[in-house]
Amino acid sequence: MSGGTQAIDRAAELLTRVVLADDAPTFAKLVDDTGLAKSTTSRLLQALERHRLVRRVDDGGYEAGPMFALYASRHAPDAEVVRLAHPTMEALSEATGETVNLAMVRGITVVQVAQIDSTFLLGTTNWVDVEVPAHSSALGKVFYAEGLITLPDSPMAALTPHTVTDPASFAQTLEAIRVAGFAEAFGELEEGLDAVAAPVRDHTGEVVAALGISGPSNRLEVQRDRIRTLITTHAATLSRTLGFPTRKDGAA
d(CA 105, CA 36): 43
pLDDT 10s digits, 13-45: 999 999 888 889 999 999 999 999 999 999 999
Low-confidence ranges of the chain (pLDDT < 50): 1, 248-252
Domain boundaries, the chain: 3-73, 77-241
- Single out the residue of 166, 196, 168, 164 nearest to residue 180, CA to CA: 196
Residue 78 confidence (pLDDT): 78
d(CA 169, CA 39): 62
Q: Which residues of 205-237 are buried (b: 16+ CB within 10 A; e: fewer)?
A: eebbbbbbbbbbbebbeeeeeebbebbbebbbb
> Alpha carbon 169 to chain centroid distance?
28
Number of C-beta neighbours around residue 71 at 10 A: 11
Domain 77-241 -> CATH class: alpha beta
> Alpha carbon 170 to chain centroid distance?
24
Per-residue H/E/C for 132-188? CCHHHCHHHHHHHHCCCCCCCCCCCCCCCCCCCCCHHHHHHHHHHHHHHCCEEEECC
- Single out the residue of 18, 25, 23, 27 nearest to residue 65, CA to CA: 18
Domain with residues 3-73, CATH architecture: Orthogonal Bundle (1.10)
The model's pTM is: 0.70
Residue 181 confidence (pLDDT): 95
CA distances from residue 83 to 86, 102, 133 in whole angstroms, order as listed: 6, 11, 25
User: With the CA atoms of 156, 157, 158 and 163 taken in that order, what torsion angle do they form, in degrees rounded to the nearest 10?
Assistant: -50
